[in-house]
Amino acid sequence: MVQVHSSLFNFKPKNEKSLRTIQEIKIILDHLYGFNIMKKTRLRKYAFARKIFTTLASNHGHTNEAITSTFKIPHDTIIYNHKTIDTINKIDMVNYNRCIDKLDLKMKKIISLNSLSASPVADEIHEKLKTLGRKDLMYFKSQVFEPFVSKLEFEDEIKNI
């Protein structure tokens, strides 16, 4: 079991712009998972733990270069982890949220696994749709969305001929 100094849990940033160190994020995740998340293995529990680590560090403002230089995680792996965050298990979602709480990070938690999206474009569209009223949503559905989906289905039929 990983030993974590209790003062890490009580640390408060001097201001909102203070970044928690990459090492602090790793230490907390080691503690939450109960193993060294950087162990060189391709076992799923380790790979998903590293996926949570790289996503937390990136979302918190650390550059891919900083993560790469600190833990020797290849740049393409960091990008892949961030794009495939929607594949995590429930325990990983819980640990992601617990790490945000323990380090008092100013970032959104994952509400449910269904809410994850690997696409920033889809997130942007979803956020805009949430602001529309019922009448506008009905118009969008009938005049924009349904014709668009029909066009995509038609194009797929043509490709399959």
pLDDT at 33: 93
Integer Cα distance of 147 and 140 in angstroms: 10
How open is the CA angle 44-78-75, to the nearest 5 degrees? 130
28 HSE (CA, 13 A, CB side): 27
User: What is the reported pLDDT for 5?
Assistant: 40
CATH topology of domain 7-116: Chromosomal Replication Initiator Protein Dnaa; Chain: A; (1.10.1750)
Q: Where are the domains of the chain?
A: 7-116, 131-159
- Consecutive sets of 10 residues in the chain, 161 residues long: mean pLDDT of each? 38 43 92 94 93 91 90 91 86 90 85 63 78 91 92 85 79
pLDDT at residue 139, rounded to an integer: 93
pTM over 0.85: no
Closest to 87 (Cα-Cα) out of 114, 60, 125, 56: 114
Q: So what's the pLDDT on residue 12?
A: 38
Q: Residue 4 gets which letter from DSSP?
A: -
- pLDDT at site 82: 85
